[in-house]
Structure 1
Amino acid sequence: MIQNTESLSFKYTFSSGQTAYILDVPDSFTYNKTITALGLTQSSPSIVVIGGASKMSPESKMRVSLLFTKVLAPFAETSQVTVFDGGTDAGVIQMMGQARRNIGGTFQLVGITPKAKVNLPGYSINLNLELKSRELTALEENHTHFVLIPGSNWGNESPWLANCSSILAGNYPTITILINGGKISLSDFILNLSVGRQAIIIAGSGRLADEIANTINGIKPSKDPMIQNLTRTYYPNQLSVFDLTHSLDILTNRLQAYFKPQIT
């Protein structure tokens, strides 16, 4: 892979032969300029996938994997939806990329992650800060685009996910799916809700998703004031819950109903 010095966005080839467009975002870039520089100039409905896969039971993990391969990836493909996530090769983000590959998907899958956290062999990332040590992670190679944003900590990507997905959607529908997740996912989730996006919580996937779902349904309300405030502020106008024990067709139907009015 040869770095293209004439453009901030370049085509990167992974060792497997998979390719993706990568934007090494300068500190001065706005969200709008980032979307344009990445080459995403045509508005598109969007889905933001946030969360993790920690402490899932084997049964829940299998069910979540099916949710990606049977619902989210096929829906994004048939409905021309752009999917945004954290871009790393782990947890539910890895599941999203693998689901796209498994169905032979062509939909846009955009990963947004702090550039200081990325291991990108053959490319020297433009860091305007000195780090004593770097905990590097691989990118999920089945994505079509990556946005390497300024920052050295997980969570720096949260406002970029919320805003870039909304900007690309424009007047099209956009929604957030929360699966499992922890503290950083809570920050992601609150930011997504704060920009006006609808959200679906996947109950039964564990940790944060279950804590919010259980607070909403009153089974075991969270003692976390952030979660209490989140449910008071956004439920039921922006928040809904899907239980993993239910038929996945219900989630497909819900997405179709939400996106159908404005899909072209």
Structure 2
Amino acid sequence: MTSPFRLDFPNTGRAFAARVAETAELCSVLTALGLFPPRPTVVVVGGAAGLDATDMDRLRPLFGSGIAPVMEKYGAVGVDGGTLAGVMQLFGEVRAGAAFPLLGVVAEGTVQLPGACAPDRGEGFELEPRHTHFLVVPGDKWGAEAPWIAEAATVLADSAPSITVLINGGDIAYDDVQLSVKAGRPVVAIAGSGRTADAFANALAGELVDEPVAALVRSGLIRSVPADAPEYLAELLEAVLGAGVE
């Protein structure tokens, strides 16, 4: 296990990060970062660079009114893909005015770490600077971080409840849902947010969809709430995270 290190973001603040090479290291690495399991955990996956300014404005209340207040109430930790784009940027924005920790899980070959030389393949995406922690995992392709996001959430939650929120998203978001279901983690798809989230919401509404989506819906772990009703998302998160409170 490598020692945690600090990332300094100009005009924004700092975060603590660690590299991890094997999933067996996750518990010790997360503990070294000060993220001690068990913790209620909220995973956010979905749209990144494909979300435009109008999409971002429309989806922002889901974070400010739906996700953040419940996370603060239950001392939850957030987990996402950590880059300055789409739903991860929105998660970082709301974290800036809140107290919960937010862990970005990034594949090293796809991002630019502050103060480091650019990866060999391309310039790399910027990290979202309002995250409090980062896990840097192996990989040089988008999606390489997906299994690490799922496993990090499982390790963080341990015996505490966890849930995945799917907002928009493409093929990688489908993989994220599949990994969450495999881990036994409930998923809430935000209906009306577009693409993969809408495919799952449509399946829940009884529409014909591709068999892989239908099969995941049959797991019974996937639910949906409308994109324009952050209060319904808050109620669902409250029901899941509050179940772990005695």
TM over 0.5: same fold? yes
Separation in 2, partners of 1:263, 1:15: 39
Separation in 1, partners of 2:32, 2:21: 11
Query: 1:95-114 counterparts in 2 under 5 A?
Result: 95-101=90-96, 104-114=97-107
2:237 aligned partner: 255
Q: CA RMSD in A?
A: 2.3
1:167 aligned partner: 155
Q: CA deviation at 1:163?
A: 1.2
- Whether 1:197 and 2:185 are equivalent positions in the alignment is yes
Q: 1:238 aligns with which of 216, 221, 227?
A: 221
Separation in 1, partners of 2:53, 2:192: 10
Q: 1:134 aligns with which of 99, 122, 145?
A: 122
Uncovered stretches (5+) of structure 1, i.e. residues with no partner = 1-5
Task: Go from structure 1 to structure 2 and tell me whether the alpha carbon gap of 1:117 and 1:31 turns closer, same or farther (over 3 Å shift).
Answer: same
Q: Secondary structure of 2:104's partner?
A: strand
Q: Deviations over 1:47-87 (max 9, x none)?
A: 000000536793x5433111111121222122211000000
Separation in 2, partners of 1:157, 1:179: 17
Q: Secondary structure of 2:116's partner?
A: coil
Separation in 1, partners of 2:114, 2:95: 23
Separation in 1, partners of 2:169, 2:203: 16
Percent of pairs with identical residues: 35
Paired amino acid for 1:88:
T
1:225 aligned partner: 211
Q: 2:39 aligns with which of 44, 59, 62?
A: 44
Q: CA deviation at 1:28?
A: 7.9
Task: Go from structure 1 to structure 2 and tell me whether the alpha carbon gap of 1:56 and 1:15 turns closer, same or farther (over 3 Å shift).
Answer: closer
Separation in 2, partners of 1:72, 1:47: 8
Q: Secondary structure of 2:66's partner?
A: helix
Separation in 2, partners of 1:55, 1:97: 15
Provide the aligned length of Structure 1 versus Structure 2: 245
CA contact (8 A) 1:85 1:110 kept: yes
1:69 aligned partner: 64
Q: Secondary structure of 1:22's partner?
A: strand
Q: Deviations over 1:158-189 (max 9, x none)?
A: 11111111111111110000000000111111
Query: 1:206-225 counterparts in 2 under 5 A?
Result: 206-219=194-207, 221-222=208-209, 224-225=210-211
Separation in 2, partners of 1:211, 1:141: 31
Structure 1 residue ranges, 4+ long, deviating more than 6 angstroms after superposition: none
Q: 1:79 aligns with which of 67, 74, 80?
A: 74
CA contact (8 A) 1:56 1:205 kept: no
CA contact (8 A) 1:216 1:231 kept: yes
Q: CA deviation at 1:8?
A: 2.1
Separation in 2, partners of 1:57, 1:214: 25
Q: Deviations over 1:5-51 (max 9, x none)?
A: x9621122111241100112245853333323433224210000000
Separation in 2, partners of 1:51, 1:100: 18
Task: Go from structure 1 to structure 2 and tell me whether the alpha carbon gap of 1:249 and 1:17 turns closer, same or farther (over 3 Å shift).
Answer: closer
Separation in 2, partners of 1:17, 1:63: 25
Task: Go from structure 1 to structure 2 and tell me whether the alpha carbon gap of 1:135 and 1:71 turns closer, same or farther (over 3 Å shift).
Answer: same
Q: 1:32 aligns with which of 20, 27, 31?
A: 27
Uncovered stretches (5+) of structure 2, i.e. residues with no partner = none
Q: CA deviation at 1:211?
A: 1.2
Q: Secondary structure of 1:23's partner?
A: strand
Q: CA deviation at 1:227?
A: 1.5
